[in-house]
Amino acid sequence: MLARHLSRWRGEGGGYAALVLLASGLYLGTAALIPGYLSLASLRSVLLLASLLGIAAIGQTLTIVLGGLDLSIPAVIGFAEVTVAQLYGQGWPFAAAALLVLAAALLFGAMNGLVASGLEVHPLIVTLASGSILLGAILAVTHGQASGTVPDWLSATVSVVGHTGPIPLPGAVVAWLVAAAGIVILEHRSVPGRWLYAIGANASAARYARLPLRRVWMLAYAVSAGFAALAGMLLAGFSGAADAEVGAPYLFTTVAAVVIGGTPLSGGRGGYGRTVLGCLIITELTTLLIGLGLDQPGQEIFLGAMIVLLVATYGRQTHLGLRV
Amino acid sequence: MQRHRPSLGLAAAILIALLGLLGTAPPAASAANDREAHAQALQDVPAAMRSYYDGFWYFSAVLPDPYESWTPPKAPVQFCYNDSYQGNSWRAAALAEYQKLVADFAKAGLAKPNLIVTNSNNNIDVQLSQLQNQIRQGCNVILSIPSSPTGLCAGVQEAHKRGVLFVSVESPVFCKEAINVDFNEYYGGLQTGRWLAQALGGKGSVVMLDGVPGLAPTVARHEAAMSVFAQHPGIKVVGTVVGMWTPSIAKSKMLQFLATHPQRIDGVWNGALMGVAAGQALSQSGRPAARINGFSGSCSFLAYWKQNHLQSLSLSQGGAPALYEAFLVAARMLQGQKPVVNTILYPLPEITDANLDQWYKPSMTVQSNCFADPPDGRAVADSYFDPLFKGGAPLKVALQP
Amino acid sequence: MSDLAPMTRAPGMDATAAAAIPPLLEARGLRRSFGATIALDDVSLGLAGGEIHALIGENGSGKSTLIKMLSGIVRPDSGEIRCDGSPVRFADPQAARRAGIVTCFQETLVLEELSVRDNIVLGQDGVIRRCRGPAAEAALARAALAELGVAIDLDRPLGRLKLAQRQLVTIARALAGPWRLLILDESTSALDVEERDRLFDALFRYRAAGRAILFVSHRMDEIARIADRTTVLRSGRSVATLAAAQADTPRLLALMSGPEEARAALGQATPSPPTARSRGVVLRADGIVLRPRAAPIALDLSAGEILGLAGLEGHGQERFLDCIAGLAAPDRGTITGGTTRVRSVVDAARAGIAFLPRDRKRDGIFAPLSVADNLTIARLGRFSRAGLIRRIRRLEAVRTAMARLRVRARGPEAAIDTLSGGNQQKVLLGRLLLTEPRVLALNDPMRGVDPGAKHDLYDELRALAATRIAVLLLSTELPELCLLCDRVAVFRDHAVVAVLDRAALSEPRLIAAMFGHAAADDRA
């Protein structure tokens, strides 16, 4: 039944209904199964965790739409988390530390895009390698002695009980929703946004149409690294400890959020709106599994099976036989 | 052919699933529950020391001393360090401690001044070949932190055959030719479990906060704490949260656990490094504070403890003391002292509300990444090991950590 | 060779006996809808052994759906298919193949990374099991290609082959295995005259052996030449089946377009009025040597002129066009557009040269994106402020372009891949026009375009020429060149062997030049 709904989705737009249904159904289903889940505190927890994932997954979505993949996101998260805490701990003004981290991340991402498009090396390899280099560099510089502090307001931004002005949601959630709206608008209404989709859909045609492929690749990977850095800085406030490996879980979950949202890895379709729902679904799902007391291997098997199921369902949508 | 695209999707799914697996690699713990065999293994350990060996089978093997007929090399001795990782402060502290101790020994003419160090970056094959190289380079004593409990055995055998002393530091190996020096993981679970049960007055609901599932330390600590809670009918374990010894993961999982468990949580048993995360998750979910233990004595936890005026208990599991105790065992063996068994276990020191100020330093913050060192630099008094050795001569220099 | 042995009745059977037994394949009252779209309304068709049966109709008339149905890819909502008189239901393409029906599709579905041999034997193995060893596979592939009179290196990756060779490989794939009905969907579109003739020879042999061929083509001359009977589809219905004697081109065109809107189609369209060539040279190719030892080429293109490029496949006309577009560099010689020397695509853009690649699907359209995106993607800057697209402005421009080019689509937001090939081509032409070019370099723009859309595109090219845009038109269809061009440069052996003026243009002359029999007075 669900499969039939999902298989009707095509192209960029439309078909959100089933995804929204899945996200809200999961929430209500969990609430029915677990008394007490239907509380503001629980909702805020889920939203906060989804927002951290969501911010990290912005770049994953954009690079996948472009026909690539960004596996350096965890490394950039770790870099930002460690660096911002360390610099602030050494007495730098937070804004200066954050700007430096952001600038370094943008440069790093642009390099990823440049190498992947310029040398025509698959971005999977480029970003895996560059991520590994970045992590190695952090270890070399800090000798694993990373330490530092973050300002209290940053911790409050990623605190479940945080407020944003009169809104009873932590700053990270509000920032995520604003960024999501911005990204979705840019995807559809900005010139680079349309280029992104065109290049992802057909790089060869993009070359003939003289689109600036290299610039778009650099831009997409720079944006990816920029938001990964933002996620890293938020995680510094979230977890407290400076840890270069803090981004590790986001390798799997960012790709999974994109895929569950229905953006195909082949590029040119889908978009961040879907990933937002994918992030919510993943977070709700893992929460449900924890709530049901499933052990760790059980959770991973369930999540993996769910992804295979969804991808198999989405894959059917382009079955040539179903086309007129 | 028409199915080309879906198969692409399927391949993608498999790729993603594989990426997911990168995060976890749980080897099975050896927990053969053969009481008699365990008692048999401990027959050479003095009766008074046996309680410190409780639960050893979860994470190590206790075998006869493989260096029974070993003749210690003549001074100056070449010390070597076969490390598997250098990416955290714990490892850095251990290395610094080793360098200091070797320098002290060299000054007394007992050791060559250079310490030969290798780092395999958690690649066991690399570590094995590094070990074999060190044997060929003329190392007399090799302290090692193996990245696998069995992967180095070929090298350990070779070392033993060539009269090289191989001592594992806080990572016991199942090779019968090795000397292992470690704190008792299981005993640590008992210490923290007993404190939590007592702090809760023997009743209340407890969440277990575990490290990487399936790893021997996780299982040993968890089982020990559970054995304590089993003796208190008033204590109800409401669930296990897998925090992977990583604060950010522990906090996320804890938030999700609390979102789906509306009941009051009285205590969190913390299997190391996740106490602050658990405390923050509770308070941010609007829950009353719960009793949370520390395990490794991380600066972060001590700062959290101090700042929030908690009541708690933590063990101290720093890198420098771990290296010191292993070095001490090696130093005794160089003097001809023979250990009663191949695996030397000791209990970890306890940080309590009463002695917190001796451990806590104002430089420690919640974001700190260090470990608090014992005021005297030792995990246990040097004399703790006396009953575990026979014969030989006393140390020529008084070791200072 | 045993694999290629026909699974059919013995040849030489007399006519009365053939009439007494049921047709090899018969379709009755086939109907199928996709959502609100009725793809097939009522189609009936009979295919006898030993005939070449042509199927024609405009794009959207239901040809593709019918073929997919006969190949077991699409199932009919109602109606029935009979094989040798007994009803069959094909659950999947394999079932159709087991019944002896093999299909060579228009959209050449190939695996570019794999070798020619692998592409030919593709689909014959199980997931793991290989039916035969490498040597037997090679023999099978070689034999299948030999049927078509071609020899291609079996180990070359398909992606490195020319379009024509790829098409031959896909036909060979259909032939590699037992069959008795071969369905060819626009399979001659990329072939040159020689290759096509060899294919036809093979088809005649199969016909003589009692096998059946269903031949889908937009080319009237081909149908006239080989078809025994022709079935015309219009709006999902089979409107007539004509024997060869009755199937003259005007009649077929009339049946296709329907009595109410008997449009002037290809054969009857009015030729372009002659253009004065004195309007100023916009593009000059001087001393171009396409490969070592080839004769240099000198061609001028005037504003408002349509210059055709003709030649057998692989005789240099495509490479010449690539050089004009800055995609390739000639061995020697200069190309000057206006005052700009063209050495790269950037130079070409500066010189106002817009290029339309030949492979629409691979190099042209952005498949899931909308008509609006596809039209404007290269010139989004025109409709944006501070990087944001001004939607109303863009929509107006898109609507204007769509109306002018007579693009038939649900609207500007329709996904481009829901449009017919002809309408996609109109959108791509629109994309080029938004760049305000001075020269249009078009590589076979009418390939796979239905007659109606072709007609629209002809009109549009003439209109563009009238606005002083110069057009370089590479085409494989000779009637088209005769109809549209002011001059046609004929390539042979990577050099121009003849430039035929409008007055001298005719198909026989073009063919003669292509085959190296240019009359001395036509020489450039």
Which chain A residues are Cβ-neighbours of B239 within 8 angstroms?
293
The pLDDT value recorded for residue C130 is: 59
Q: Does a structural domain hold residue A36? A: no
Tell me what the mean pLDDT of segment C5-16 comes to: 40
The pLDDT value recorded for residue C22 is: 75
Please give the structure tokens belonging to residue B120. Answer: 């395999």
The yes-or-no verdict on residue C15 having pLDDT over 60 is no
DSSP string, C30-64: EEEEETTEEEEEEEEEEE-TT-EEEEE--TTSSHH
Q: Does a structural domain hold residue A8? A: no
Which chain B residues are Cβ-neighbours of A80 within 8 angstroms?
none
Distance to chain B for A210, nearest Cα, Å: 28
Interface of B with C in 4-23 (CB under 8 A): 4
The position carrying tokens 């001044």 is B113
The pLDDT value recorded for residue A244 is: 87
DSSP string, B76-128: SB-EEEEES---SHHHHHHHHHHHHHHHHHHHTTSB-SPPEEEE-TT-HHHHH
What is the band of A12 on the pLDDT scale with cuts at 50, 70, 90?
A: very low
The pLDDT value recorded for residue A176 is: 98
Instruction: Choose the closest CB to B92 out of A145, A236, A241.
Output: A145
Contact B2 C123 (CB under 8 A): no
The pLDDT value recorded for residue C36 is: 59
Q: Does a structural domain hold residue A75? A: yes
Q: Alpha-carbon distance B401 to B398, whole Å?
A: 10
Please write the tens of the pLDDT for every residue from C42-60: 999 999 999 999 998 765 6
The pLDDT value recorded for residue B376 is: 93
Residue in C217, C156, C176 with CA at minimum distance from that of residue C4:
C176
Contact C362 A205 (CB under 8 A): yes
Instruction: Choose the closest CB to A238 out of B21, B22, B251.
Output: B251
The answer to whether B209 faces chain A, any CB pair under 8 Å, is: no
Which chain B residues are Cβ-neighbours of C122 within 8 angstroms?
1
Q: Does a structural domain hold residue A220? A: yes
Which chain C residues are Cβ-neighbours of B2 within 8 angstroms?
73, 93, 109
The pLDDT value recorded for residue C275 is: 52
The answer to whether C112 faces chain B, any CB pair under 8 Å, is: no
Contact C123 B1 (CB under 8 A): yes
The pLDDT value recorded for residue A72 is: 97
Q: In what order do the strands lie in the sheet with C470-474?
A: C353-356, C439-443, C470-474, C306-311, C487-492, C495-501
Interface of B with A in 257-286 (CB under 8 A): 257-263, 276-277, 280-281, 283-286
Please write the tens of the pLDDT for every residue from C403-437: 999 998 889 999 998 888 899 999 999 999 999 99
Please write the tens of the pLDDT for every residue from C309-358: 998 777 899 999 999 999 999 999 999 998 899 999 999 999 999 999 99
Contact B253 A42 (CB under 8 A): no
The answer to whether B241 faces chain A, any CB pair under 8 Å, is: yes
The answer to whether C34 faces chain A, any CB pair under 8 Å, is: yes
The pLDDT value recorded for residue C124 is: 66
Of A259-268, B148-157, B182-191, which range is least confident?
A259-268
Nearest-CA residue of chain B relative to C108?
Answer: B1
The answer to whether B28 faces chain A, any CB pair under 8 Å, is: no
The pLDDT value recorded for residue C106 is: 67
The pLDDT value recorded for residue C277 is: 52
For B181, the 3-state DSSP assignment is: strand
Q: Which of C94, C377, C431 to mutate to test the interface with A (most CBs of A within 10 A)?
A: C377
The answer to whether B2 faces chain C, any CB pair under 8 Å, is: yes
Residue in A227, A25, A209 with CA at minimum distance from that of residue A109:
A227
The yes-or-no verdict on residue B173 having pLDDT over 50 is yes
What is the band of C20 on the pLDDT scale with cuts at 50, 70, 90?
A: low
Give CB contacts under 8 A, 24+ apart, made by B130-137.
B130/B82, B131/B82, B131/B155, B131/B156, B131/B159, B132/B158, B134/B80, B134/B82, B135/B159, B135/B162, B135/B164, B137/B78, B137/B80
Contact B20 A145 (CB under 8 A): no
Q: Regarding predicted confidence, which is higher, C84 or B224?
A: B224
Contact C369 A198 (CB under 8 A): yes
Residue in A123, A6, A39, A61 with CA at minimum distance from that of residue A273:
A61
The one-letter amino acid code at B390 reads K
Query: Angle C451-466/C249-257 helices, nearest 10 degrees?
Result: 100
What is the band of C123 on the pLDDT scale with cuts at 50, 70, 90?
A: low
Please write the tens of the pLDDT for every residue from C243-257: 988 888 778 877 876
Q: Alpha-carbon distance C30 to C76, whole Å?
A: 6
Please give the structure tokens belonging to residue B228. Answer: 């304590």
Q: Is the pTM of this model over 0.80?
A: no
Number of domains observed in the structure of chain A: 1
Q: Does a structural domain hold residue A26? A: no
The one-letter amino acid code at B34 reads D
First to last CA, chain C: 49
Q: Does a structural domain hold residue A30? A: no
The pLDDT value recorded for residue C35 is: 65
The answer to whether B363 faces chain C, any CB pair under 8 Å, is: no
Residue partners of B333: CB distance under 8 A and separation at least 6: B67, B70, B72, B165, B179, B339, B392
Q: How many helices (H) and strands (E) does chain B have?
A: 12, 14
Q: Regarding predicted confidence, which is higher, B326 or A147?
A: B326
Mean of pLDDT over chain C: 84
Residue partners of B296: CB distance under 8 A and separation at least 6: B272, B273, B314, B315, B316, B317, B318, B371
Interface size between B and C, measured as CB pairs under 8 A: 7
- Asked if A197 and A272 count as a contact pair (C-beta separation under 8 A), the reply is no
Contact C122 B1 (CB under 8 A): yes
Q: Alpha-carbon distance A78 to C300, whole Å?
A: 62
Distance to chain A for B66, nearest Cα, Å: 35
The position carrying tokens 């078509």 is C148
Q: Alpha-carbon distance C356 to C373, whole Å?
A: 17
- Compute the CA torsion angle A191, A197, A201, A204 (nearest 10 deg): 30
Which chain C residues are Cβ-neighbours of B1 within 8 angstroms?
109, 122-123
What is the band of C448 on the pLDDT scale with cuts at 50, 70, 90?
A: confident
Distance to chain C for B4, nearest Cα, Å: 10
The answer to whether A319 faces chain C, any CB pair under 8 Å, is: no
Tell me the Cα Rg of chain B: 22
Please write the tens of the pLDDT for every residue from B346-397: 999 999 999 999 999 998 988 788 899 999 999 999 999 999 999 999 998 8
- Asked if C391 and C474 count as a contact pair (C-beta separation under 8 A), the reply is no
The answer to whether C387 faces chain A, any CB pair under 8 Å, is: yes
The one-letter amino acid code at C291 reads R
Instruction: Choose the closest CB to B89 out of A145, A259, A300.
Output: A145
CATH of the domain at A312: 1.10.3470
The yes-or-no verdict on residue C372 having pLDDT over 70 is yes
Residue in B351, B349, B325, B352 with CA at minimum distance from that of residue B339:
B325
Interface of C with B in 118-137 (CB under 8 A): 122-123
Instruction: Choose the closest CB to A37 out of B19, B247, B260.
Output: B260
Residue C311, CA distances (Å) to C204, C417, C444, C512, C517 in order: 26, 31, 12, 10, 12
Q: Alpha-carbon distance C203 to C197, whole Å?
A: 10
Nearest-CA residue of chain B relative to C94?
Answer: B1
Contact B2 C93 (CB under 8 A): yes
The pLDDT value recorded for residue C291 is: 85
Nearest-CA residue of chain A relative to C420?
Answer: A324
What is the band of A308 on the pLDDT scale with cuts at 50, 70, 90?
A: confident
Tell me what the mean pLDDT of segment A69-87 comes to: 95
Tell me what the mean pLDDT of segment B196-217 comes to: 95
Q: Alpha-carbon distance B9 to A309, whole Å?
A: 10
> Which DSSP category does C363 fall into?
I
Q: Does a structural domain hold residue A178? A: yes
Please give the structure tokens belonging to residue C487. Answer: 């001059």
Residue numbers of the domain that contains A85: 41-316
Q: Does a structural domain hold residue A186? A: yes
The yes-or-no verdict on residue A255 having pLDDT over 50 is yes
Distance to chain C for B8, nearest Cα, Å: 13
Q: In the Cβ-directed half-sphere of C98, how many Cα atoms lie within 13 Å? A: 9
Distance to chain B for C140, nearest Cα, Å: 20
The yes-or-no verdict on residue A13 having pLDDT over 70 is no
Please write the tens of the pLDDT for every residue from B5-33: 444 455 555 555 555 554 444 444 444 45
Which chain C residues are Cβ-neighbours of A268 within 8 angstroms?
366-369
For B131, the 3-state DSSP assignment is: helix
Please write the tens of the pLDDT for every residue from C200-236: 999 999 999 999 999 988 777 888 899 999 999 988 8
Distance to chain A for B136, nearest Cα, Å: 29
Q: For A321, phi and psi rounded to 5 degrees?
A: -65, -20
The answer to whether C13 faces chain B, any CB pair under 8 Å, is: no
Instruction: Choose the closest CB to A190 out of C364, C378, C387.
Output: C387
Please write the tens of the pLDDT for every residue from A118-167: 888 899 999 999 999 999 999 888 876 677 788 989 999 999 988 998 99
Residue in B75, B74, B145 with CA at minimum distance from that of residue B107:
B75
